[in-house]
Amino acid sequence: MRFKSTYNIFTDFGEVFEPSWMDSNTLQLPPKKDWDYSRELTIEEVDIWEVIWEASGGQGLYASWSPYAEFYLLNINGQINTLYGPNSQKELIKTIKELNLPISINKIWVEPEDMWLYSEQES
């Protein structure tokens, strides 16, 4: 797993990394806090992104890690798109397929209390 700040994604292409994470035989991850979904999240409010996919030229797909939420940032050829909230993952998978991005799509485990983020929403 790799992590970046918003600054890393758009400016210096570095990563969020602590050398002490390598001091253990167990996986060490950056701290995360859950988002409460009381309002829509913005790019500027995300401290850490999980890297899902990256390509040359600053292109990439990122998931909000801190705060931890169903919020995705897609940067393709300088065009920035975000997907947020319930069913955003379903829309993201559709977009990945439409753009023919080389990203594996796997089944995920969802905790029962978070199922509302993945079920069909009535209009």
Average pLDDT over residues 116-121: 68
Average pLDDT over residues 19-48: 90
Q: Note the pLDDT of residue 120.
A: 62
**Threshold 0.85, pTM exceeds:** no
| SS3 state at 96 | helix
Average pLDDT over residues 24-46: 92
Hey, what are 23's tokens? 């001091």
| SS3 state at 16 | coil
Hey, what are 46's tokens? 């995300």
Domain boundaries, the chain: 3-117
Q: What's 29-68 look like in SS3?
A: CCCCCECCCCCCCCHHHCCEEEEEEECHHHCEEEEEEECE
State pLDDT tens for residues 68-118. Answer: 999 999 999 889 999 999 889 889 999 999 988 888 776 666 677 777 777
